[in-house]
Structure 1
Amino acid sequence: MPGTMRFQGLFMVAIWILLLCPQGSPTSFGHPLPVPLQENYSPPSGSNTPVVIKDKPSLSAPTKSSQEDVDYYDDYLFTVDPLETSRSPQPPSPHCDYHLCRHLQVPCAELQKASGCMCPGITSPGEAPETPHLQTLHVSEAGISLHWCAPPSPVEQYHVTYQAVGEASASSPALNSTFRLATVSGLLPDKQYLVCVVASNRAGRSPTDDGQREHGPCRLVHTPPRQIPYVYVAAGLAGALVLVVISALVWHFCMRRRKHLLHGSRDNILDVEPGLGGTTNSTFRSEEQL
């Protein structure tokens, strides 16, 4: 009986100690972990539970503690975003190798399609071309050679027109847009002409002027008078030289023959008849014998 009372007293003391001790962690009794609070979780009204806000992960790279970590983070830090690469500024396209004054120049539109270069600005295809610019002219008695620069406009064809003062205008055959040189033949010598270069497209033709501007589309020229061909001049000089040579030879032979008659031999002088070669000297033989 006394042992039973002692055991009950110890049991009651143990229960009283458990009731007085603070409640342990749920994990100590094998309960599952509580579900993490959401980022925007708000506690119920009237609760004293503190608000827990989940921190966002830091963007700074963690400390590199091993060679594996170094290799990994090196790859991570130097990864290039394709979108960032596409947004980087690109160098400007180069200008096309196109010159307005170059003969047989390939159109700039074809150069741009081939290499993606930049062409100079031009006027609208729906407008007539601006005037070409005459650069140099070479004039002969029967023709003219011209060199011009293209206008900053779409051009399909060029024409060279020429008109003598007081006569009707004439035009050369059509030249394609790559031409910058042309020759006009069949002109008359010692005559004044107004020569113009005209550009054309579907919208119309470029205007002309009176030929007074320095680099305009037209120019007043004067063909030189007819000249004696160099062949005729050379033939005349050669004939004159031949006549001089023949005259010198004839004069030389005549002078030689005259000297031969005047300075003959001794026998000819002694036997010559009186009146033709002079009188004979009667004392010449006697002096010779002495």
Structure 2
Amino acid sequence: MTSLRKNLAVLLLFLSASPFLHSDLSSHAASSPPPATRPRIIFMNDLSSDDNFEDDYLDNDNHSSLPEVVHTMKTTKLQLHTQLCQHSPCLENQEPCKLISKRTGCLCPGFSAANEPPHAPRIHMLQPISKGDNRGKIEVQWCAPSSVVSAYKVLIEGSEALEFQEVSRRGLIGFLEVGTKVCVEAVNSAGHSVASDFSCTRYDPPEFADHKLLAGVIGGGVALLLLLIIAALILWKYQLRKKAKRDSADGLGNPSYSTEGTL
């Protein structure tokens, strides 16, 4: 009976203390910080539009279900047109490369700035004119540099410089002596190019085809004349030998013949 009373007392004491325990658990739950959330991830489905997107959040309880990322590729104009423009720096009176690039989307070579002196042009050739009124005069041809150019100057050793337009790639410079130095210089508002090994050359006249033909004709004539002389000498010697044999045969043909008379 005494033990039963003790059990009832303990039960009443536990029931009276349970509201304080419940309130303590509730306050602990309320004061604990909320569970940490993962940062927001934005997945873009189309790179060509800035407004077409959606926000996705990762679930804290289910880490296995992740949204599928769609990879898209955007083809740019640079990828479609990677070929160089059909523009030669050695031909004159061409359409500017910038206009060709704007029309076709091709790529132009890099140019130095307009406020920098131009690079040196490259001499293509020095050749004499073979036909027309300027026959015998020398023409210089050059290729433009990758720079902004407003004019070209041809510098001739011992003569005054000749100026040509920016679209020019050739110029008539008159008569030159063999070994004369000729340089082509590019000019713009910032200055002029510096002479180099490929922008200067010395005049070395080429051999024309008619000169070669004339030399061949002369050589052939001399060879033919030598052959005729040799043939004439051989024929002359042959005739001499033939005559000598004939004279010898006539003297031995009649043994009774004598200059002193008959026997």
TM-score by length of 2: 0.49
TM-score by length of 1: 0.46
Bigger radius of gyration among the two: 1
